[in-house]
Amino acid sequence: MTHREDARARHEDAAHRARAHHEQTRHEDAQAHHHHTHAPASRHAHGHHLLQVEDLTVAFRMYDADEPYLTARQREARPIERLSISVHAGEIVAVVGASGSGKSLLADAVMGLFEPNATVMGRIWFDGEPMDAAALARVRGRGIALVPQSVASLDPLMKVGAFVRGAACGCGRARREDAARRTRRQRELFARYGLAPEVEDLYPHELSGGMARRVLLCCALMDAPRVIVADEPTPGLDLELAVRAMDDFRAFADAGGGVMLITHDIELALRVADRVAVFRDGTVVEETAVTNFAAPELLEHPFSRALWHALPEHGFAAGAGAGSAYASAGAPSRGGEAL
């Protein structure tokens, strides 16, 4: 057996043991487990989470910028380390944290979008099934849909109406019927988000920033995903449209789907979320019901309490000692299995 074959065999054995452990765990509706507590809306359809991420680590090999250009050595950076998060059927989980803290890398990992120089370790389950990179690619856009952060995700050479509709399925008459159905759905979504009928014939460069974000939201809602990963979906939207987008996520969750809402707008997140995952230094330091943000003493981690104090209604005061308290809590350890 070669070294590569031996490594693959060890990985498959570890994945089998992880799946057995996951299926043996009782996923009750009113239970604290897998690093989190529940909200009243949390439920385990078919006895498991809709989306579960455990011990996710994302590492990059890069050259040390502090060394001379021609002699720089490579080093490993881990912007995400030992991160665990779960999304139940029927709920919105808000991932809150500072801009630039690595939250978008979490979205990419869940979607199976990996950079060539990235090493991704950990375990992901979707609807009770363990996922690897190939499996995540198969459910991308169908089982799990993304609302990307960047409007550059729109094809600059395609009119936005055709981009949102996507390719019709089938052949002959079935294909024509599916194309008509998708056109009706696209126009319904455009009308809901205040996009005039003529917008479907525009190219991305002809849209305002807010219009482009609404088009991206329509893309995620076109098909029937089980989970929506929304990566900063509201910047560029006015308050009315932002609230409408949040209400659509709420309706999607209430119908049995799950939403991972990645945002730094904690006020908007608290309005619609069932649970909050507090993101700090590349990991989730606390995952708790949104009702626990009613008072700081209900929150466990110092950084979570600092976020509570920083809200406008609490005086924008981060609280003395929050940083030192976080440091004393200990940095996350390294480890995990190859995904």
Does 194 have pLDDT greater than 80?
Answer: yes
Residue with tokens 């002959």: 172
Does 178 have pLDDT greater than 80?
Answer: yes
Does 31 have pLDDT greater than 60?
Answer: no
Measure CA of the first residue to CA of the last residue in the chain; give whole Å: 22
Using DSSP bridges, classify how beta strands 227-231 and 91-96 pair: parallel, antiparallel or unpaired: unpaired
Does 286 have pLDDT greater than 50?
Answer: yes
Task: Compute the average pLDDT of residues 183-202.
Answer: 93
Does 38 have pLDDT greater than 80?
Answer: no
Phi, psi of 77, rounded to the nearest 5 degrees: -115, 140
Of 161, 152, 166, nearest to 231 by C-alpha is 152
Phi, psi of 98, rounded to the nearest 5 degrees: -70, 155
Under the banding of pLDDT at 50, 70 and 90, the label for residue 122 is very high
Task: Compute the average pLDDT of residues 227-251.
Answer: 86
Task: Compute the average pLDDT of residues 238-245.
Answer: 83
Task: Compute the average pLDDT of residues 295-315.
Answer: 86
Q: Please, are residues 245 and 237 in contact by the beta-carbon 8 Å criterion?
A: yes
Does 46 have pLDDT greater than 80?
Answer: no
Under the banding of pLDDT at 50, 70 and 90, the label for residue 64 is confident
Task: Compute the average pLDDT of residues 197-209.
Answer: 93
Q: What pLDDT is attached to residue 62?
A: 82
Task: Compute the average pLDDT of residues 159-182.
Answer: 91
Under the banding of pLDDT at 50, 70 and 90, the label for residue 316 is low
The DSSP secondary-structure symbol of 201 reads G
Mean pLDDT, the chain, whole residue set? 80
Q: What is the pLDDT of residues 66-78, one digit of tens each?
A: 888 788 888 888 8
Does 313 have pLDDT greater than 90?
Answer: no
Residue 65: burial class (beta carbons within 10 Å; 0-12, 13-18, 19+): exposed
Q: What pLDDT is attached to residue 282?
A: 87
pTM: 0.75
